Structure 1
Amino acid sequence: MRNSIWQKSSYSGANSDCVEVRTVDGLIELRESDDGDVIVRTTRSKFAKLLQATKAGEFDHLTTP
Structure 2
Amino acid sequence: MRNSTWQKSSYSGSNADCVEVQAVDGVIELRESDEGDVIVRITTPKFAKFLQGAKAGEFDHLITNI
- The two structures share one fold, judged by TM-score above 0.5: yes
What is the identity percentage for the equivalent residue pairs of Structure 1 and Structure 2? Answer: 78
Letter in 2 for 1:38: V
Q: Could you tell which deviates more after superposition, 26-35 or 54-63?
A: 54-63
User: Corresponding residue for 1:33?
Assistant: 33
Distance 2:22 2:32 in 1: 12
Aligned residues: 64
Structure 1: tracts of 5 or more residues without a match: none
Residue aligning to 1:13: 13
> Which segments of 5 or more consecutive residues in structure 2 lack a partner in the other structure?
none
Q: Which has the higher helix share?
A: 2
Write the distance in 2 (CA, Å) between the matches of 1:30 and 1:41.
6
Report the RMSD for the aligned CA atoms in angstroms: 1.7
**SS in structure 2 at match of 1:47:** helix
Measured after TM superposition, the shift of residue 22 of structure 1 is 0.5
